[in-house]
Structure 1
């Protein structure tokens, strides 16, 4: 079985992928990030205000420096190193405050990892996971950011919205045939992957530009069932081919509205 580990940049709005990199499974998750960001920025209009969100695969001084040099704010999940954990555990009790209704607490501090050029703001969440002889044992999750101002709770909530990427990945796998690649050749699988990405991008464009807002969150499975698979009859009349569609189809009006918008854009 041939494994793969694609690296993808998602634009949260409207959900397109401005850049992807199809890679073998044995590469480091964080390798090639800055090069991929270069490709993504090349297709984004200049002057667009950007915010970069990522999991800990991008917790790297080079990625941080890249974001700052390109005037991007960022929130990146931090690797919970021994040194970082020690910094967190030294925080006084009054540094923590309640966050949400799931028993979590939040604190913030400034910390400069070894090899980094300067200290950055860290926002950390802790949640009890048990007790030992010395008291409560916590599970920690931290993010690093160059947003030195702003409410830490709001920054954390905004960062957590990056988890929505998982829904897009699920859609790519279940809706566009990328859960299992069909070939033993890396390059053939790369072609298959790119076709899936192209189909996904065209679907996003269709929903954003040509369908009503109510379709925005529908999956490709729903679109296929409601719009793409309308049964019809192709007949000839007066030397013309005519496609007859059922008047009773519940989404026929949406179909024609979408068709009209596409034709107007050509």
Structure 2
């Protein structure tokens, strides 16, 4: 057979090495079938598509809404976050399979212009439905997993900055982050004493939004949904200092929700912690190490209608070749535990920052490059849907070293697997390499998500 037309490269090693592009129907993303199996169980992509309305002329539609949603979500999971990546994946056999198309002869995937029109055609009502649907899906998934029983459910809300680099609607300069940005609000839930914080809320906000903008309404919704699904669970909320408004605290108290909320420093609080700080300085001076002490007080901010219990942490931080630094901290709470225990509960919310970093690095949460604000809110929710699938994959990987792996690690070692695709009348066969180094773990997880030997 003539090979003149086959692209090839040569490496002059000890023996000539020739590289040829001559294997048809192959892909670098064979492991993505794991996420396809999870999506069939949870119905994430179908839930997203069901919230949208297709206003295109039916006779001219080549790619339906479910296909477009799957192309974007699986693209994010495979490491292709932009619509511009569509051309690279148009004829990829695995991505055709992910969209339930014939991997060998099926039509090509949607183009970048089609995806751009799709993202920018979503209206506010559809986005509201989608936010509800993703929350219901996460709650339903864990209600089924736990049999509707949980001792405690913890809600964490946190804002993050998504820098912008164009003329996107409502992208403003935020002095705190020193950049033009959006300021999304993200919400996570943790069940019992588990370590995984499950994404349940993603709300896009203008770059100069107050930290608590939209928080009270979303808390009302989450408390209602969680109470309906887990009637016997104690609910607990942990929030950063920007959320410590009287309206938020009164709502939590009226609903019987436990809370631990940070408070910003001010003269009144610093005066109350002064004696405790003095003791911490003496201890630090004697030990030469960082020291901290805990105490409590009753305190009412000017806009609060009643005083509340405030935990004080008096900390003196020491680093080599630096002067000691005083670091007083405050949290308001309705928990009855000791001050040290309450602060330990609050400190656990710090892992939310790791989840946010993972969202940005793994599923492009910060890739908000549409010119329209609503288009970027849709992108945010697509990233959230993709992350829900990843978190479900980690649950299925329980008992393996991948149960706590980051998205980028899972992608590199379990999803990026070279595969050759063939098919007969009755089945499609994925040919994996025999030397795949993570094959035992991949095989175990595949069985956990529904595959059978």
Partner of residue 68, structure 1 = 253
Looking at structure 1, the residues matched to 242 and 203 of structure 2 have their Cα atoms a distance apart, in angstroms, of 15
**Pick aligned residue for 1:177 from 357, 364, 370:** 364
Looking at structure 1, the residues matched to 338 and 418 of structure 2 have their Cα atoms a distance apart, in angstroms, of 53
Matched, 1:235 2:422: yes
Looking at structure 2, the residues matched to 25 and 67 of structure 1 have their Cα atoms a distance apart, in angstroms, of 27
Change in 2 beyond 3 A, CA 1:75/1:239: closer
Task: Report the secondary structure of 1:174's partner residue.
Answer: helix
Deviation at 1:98, TM superposition (A): 6.9
Partner of residue 6, structure 1 = 184
Contact 1:183–1:189 (Cα < 8 Å) also in 2: yes
Contact 1:126–1:141 (Cα < 8 Å) also in 2: yes
Deviation at 1:76, TM superposition (A): 0.7
Partner of residue 122, structure 1 = 310
Partner of residue 209, structure 2 = 27
Task: Report the secondary structure of 1:17's partner residue.
Answer: strand
Deviations 1:141-168 (A, max 9, x none): 1111111x22211211121111110001
Contact 1:21–1:36 (Cα < 8 Å) also in 2: no
Contact 2:203–2:377 (Cα < 8 Å) also in 1: no
Change in 2 beyond 3 A, CA 1:258/1:85: same
Change in 2 beyond 3 A, CA 1:240/1:139: closer
Looking at structure 1, the residues matched to 437 and 317 of structure 2 have their Cα atoms a distance apart, in angstroms, of 51
Deviation at 1:97, TM superposition (A): 10
Deviation at 1:38, TM superposition (A): 1.8
Higher RCO by CA contacts (8 Å cutoff, separation 6 or greater): 2
Contact 2:280–2:291 (Cα < 8 Å) also in 1: no
Contact 1:98–1:106 (Cα < 8 Å) also in 2: no
Give structure 1 stretches of 5+ with no counterpart.
131-135
Matched, 1:212 2:394: no
Partner of residue 158, structure 1 = 345
Q: How does 1:1-266 map to 2 (within 5 A)?
A: 1=166, 2=171, 3-13=181-191, 14-44=196-226, 45=229, 46-89=231-274, 102-128=290-316, 138-147=326-335, 149-208=336-395, 210-213=396-399, 214-236=401-423, 240-263=427-450
* Cα-Cα RMSD: 2.9
Deviations 1:205-243 (A, max 9, x none): 1211x2233322101111111111111222345764321
Looking at structure 1, the residues matched to 281 and 316 of structure 2 have their Cα atoms a distance apart, in angstroms, of 13
Contact 1:97–1:105 (Cα < 8 Å) also in 2: no
What TM-score results when the alignment is normalised by the length of structure 2? 0.52
Looking at structure 2, the residues matched to 160 and 232 of structure 1 have their Cα atoms a distance apart, in angstroms, of 44
Looking at structure 2, the residues matched to 262 and 129 of structure 1 have their Cα atoms a distance apart, in angstroms, of 47
User: Aligned residues, how many?
Assistant: 257
